[in-house]
Amino acid sequence: MLTHLLSICLGLGLAAACGFRVFVPGLVMSLATRAGYLELSDGFSWVGSTPALTVLIIATALEVGGYYIPWVDNLLDTVASPIAVVAGVLVTASVITGMDPFMKWALAIIAGGGVAATTQALTAGTRGLSMVTTAGLGNPVVAAVELASSFAISVLAIVAPVLTVILMIVAFIMWRRRRRRLTAQV
């Protein structure tokens, strides 16, 4: 039971990271798998292969670079939203081990996809606000924070999965309170 909880928390942490950057969590997973720090679910061992690592490095570089180009970053958010959900589902399913396949995929689709979608929606909203308030000049700063967040959450999810989920819950509660205060002021 503890193994299931840890793998679910790991999957949710990685899914949240997919909402910031689609390919960074996969790259971190690939490196962690190759280094022996991460065990993947049956059928996902390919994530640690050299071809997968190569593709993830290239995809990550292109995605990260695109977010530093004004207006391209907004286009990427449009494309990344559905892709982030799919990535969230896949990373969650890839790390849930020892569970009935139906339950694993149900959790991956509902929880993993949902967490990735929520994070992606928040990041897209932040980028949109930056675009309006700074005419896009603040977007590189937003991109840097998103990249750092994706990397940090990915690593933290592998090292301390339960702590990652606790921090995600606290961050969401703080965001909701702040949003309510801002809404009440308007």
- What confidence score (pLDDT) does residue 184 get? 74
- Output the pTM of the full model: 0.93
Residue 21 burial by Cβ neighbours in a 10 Å radius (0-12, 13-18, 19+): buried
Q: Write out the two tokens for 186.
A: 């308007």
pLDDT digits (tens, 9 = 90+) for 21-77: 999 999 999 999 999 999 999 999 999 999 999 999 999 999 999 988 877 887 888
**77: number of Cβ within 10 Å:** 20
**Residue 186 above 70 pLDDT?**
no
Q: Are 6 and 95 a contacting pair, CB within 8 Å?
A: no
pLDDT digits (tens, 9 = 90+) for 114-164: 999 999 998 888 888 888 888 888 889 999 999 999 999 999 999 999 999
Summary count for the chain: helices (H), strands (E): 8, 0
What is the rounded (10 degree) CA torsion for 167, 16, 81, 134?
40
Q: Write out the two tokens for 11.
A: 């999957």
Q: What is the DSSP string of 4-49?
A: HHHHHHHHHHHHHHHHH-SSHHHHHHHHHHHTTS-PPPTT-GGGGS
* DSSP code at position 22: S
Q: What number of residues does the chain have?
A: 186
pLDDT digits (tens, 9 = 90+) for 67-76: 888 778 878 8
pLDDT digits (tens, 9 = 90+) for 78-93: 888 899 999 999 999 9
